[in-house]
Structure 1
Amino acid sequence: MHGGLDAAVAVTDGDSAHATARLAELGVSSGPSGAAALAGLRAVLSGPTADPHSTAC
């Protein structure tokens, strides 16, 4: 992983659960581990260094 890892993001169980619910609203069947990528993306886009014009579903 050392040669290919650029960043890592930790998300809470609650964040993952919210992402699971959002994906379900969009018709995507996913469990919490599958939705963790969306939760991570949301965390990056809403963090203190995020571009205020960036969005994720």
Structure 2
Amino acid sequence: MMMKRFVVPISYLSHPTFQALLRKAEEEFGFDPPMGGLTIPCREDAFIDLMASHLH
């Protein structure tokens, strides 16, 4: 599966929905990524929809 990289505004870090994704990422992958990125356990289309609707 091909993964994509997204850059998100720092203001998203305080949004409860994004914080929930970060907690899921920590539970599933930890916060010591080998490539310097953070893997979010979410389908790409769901992540894009989330960013477009809930975080704006």
TM-score strictly above 0.5: no
Query: Given the two structures, how large is their TM-score scaled by the length of structure 2?
Result: 0.31
Larger of the two Rg values belongs to structure? 1
When the two structures are superposed, what TM-score results if normalisation uses the length of structure 1? 0.31
